[in-house]
Amino acid sequence: MTAGTAAGAIPKIHHGTPAFRHTNLALFAAGFATFGLLYCVQPLMPEFSRDYGVSEAGAAMSLSLTTGVLAFAMLFAGALSDAWGRKSVMVASLLSSALLVLVTAVMPSWPALLAVRTLLGLTLSGLPAVAMTYLGEEMDIESIGLGMGLYISGSAVGGMGGRLITGVLDDFFGWRFGVGVVGAIGVLAGLIFWRALPPSRHFVAQPLHWRMVLARFAGMFRDRGLPWLFVEGFLLLGAFVTVYNYLGYRLLAPPYNLSQAAVGLIFGIYLVGTFSSAWMGHLAGQLGRRKVLWTAFALMLAGVALTMMQPLPLVMLGIVAVTFGFFGGHSIVSSWLGRRAGAAKAQASSVYLFCYYMGSSIAGASGGLFYASHGWNGVALFVGALVLAGLLIALRLFRLPPLVNVATPPTPMSKGAMP
């Protein structure tokens, strides 16, 4: 019996089983740590502007450089995990990234901080793309929507927690202490992940034959749906990160004049993402992803409009709507991607996350130019254009024909490659 046949005979992880609970504990911890480590600098951007004398767009480079490198590195992370194994790549990625964030807290200069944040993008790349692939391989088809939603819920809590911890602790102990705390939590979460995640039972190692990898990348673009899902990832995170990058600048200034701790607490809105990602992912599994995705973008668009209002409660309501729509939309697109990519799951995850984080890098930095020239209304109009484009694409996807599996290229042996 071949390795592939043996893997196919093993039942996949189904909700309600101990393996499902262990998997979700591990991936919740991984999502929490990864996105806490990545986004912990976001509420500190006004502090960076003051401490280092950099502009709003310059301070945003502390996040944009990380996500830009992360985007490119994830193009190769999936292929490396095909050869080295899913769990080993994810564990190494998580623990090394946590150590780098600890180093960030003691960097003496702005160029040194940016250098470490750039390297962080490289080490982080081993988890997000591979986690999506792991779920696609190991989860039962009826459970993958819920599993993906719970993983993204962990990401939401981590994104909130990293921002909340640094934003609040900055007021009392300084931003370096807050960043160090986030790094220590990342180390702990990495150890939990290492211990709890079940080993891959449906993974079959594949040698690194780059011709085959490139053929799978090319095959994805013959599908009528996958390229549009990649674009949706760019627009989703680009819009979302831009809102949160410059929200602090707006709320620290008149007429609100909020403290840094109060602005940090606003990131508690991320909690709605823990609900919306699981709920909308499950709803899409029941009603169909095409029927639900467009509502996420519509909700984000309404939220962006509310943030242009003056009263603080309406601004906060708008941020809630943007956050709810983003996490729901990301959950739907992520699970749809795994179903549509066929044998090219790892490559599809890598390309999707490349586009996803390039959205954060490009749009997140560009938003600073709009803020400098037109204030918050400039940022809102820029984000609104991104979300509107996403809504139009979602309506196009609503008319997408039935699933056509991505063509699987011939194996390396059939091409005469060395075994």
Q: Render pLDDT for 60-70 as a digit per residue (tens, 0 to 9).
A: 899 999 989 98
Percent of the chain scoring above 90 in pLDDT: 39
What confidence score (pLDDT) does residue 401 get? 62
- Residue-wise pLDDT tens digits, 345-365: 667 877 888 898 899 889 998
Instruction: Note the pLDDT tens digit of each residue in 241-255.
Output: 999 999 989 999 899
Asked if 344 and 408 count as a contact pair (C-beta separation under 8 A), the reply is yes
| pTM recorded for the entire structure | 0.73
Q: Going by C-beta distance under 8 Å and a sequence separation of 6 or more, which residues neighbour residue 225?
A: 336, 340, 397, 400
Q: How far apart are CA 64 and CA 366, in angstroms?
A: 10
Residue with the bigger pLDDT between 300 and 291: it is 300
Worst-scoring range by mean pLDDT, 104-108, 209-213, 255-259, 386-390? 209-213
Give residue-wise pLDDT tens across range 102-116. Answer: 999 999 899 999 999
Band of the pLDDT at 135, cuts 50, 70, 90?
A: confident
Whether the per-residue pLDDT at 127 is higher than 50: the answer is: yes
Q: How far apart are the C-alpha atoms of 312 and 293, rounded to whole Å? A: 29
**Structural domains of the chain ordered from first start:** 18-401 (1.20.1250.20)
User: Cα–Cα distance between 360 and 324 in angstroms, integer?
Assistant: 18
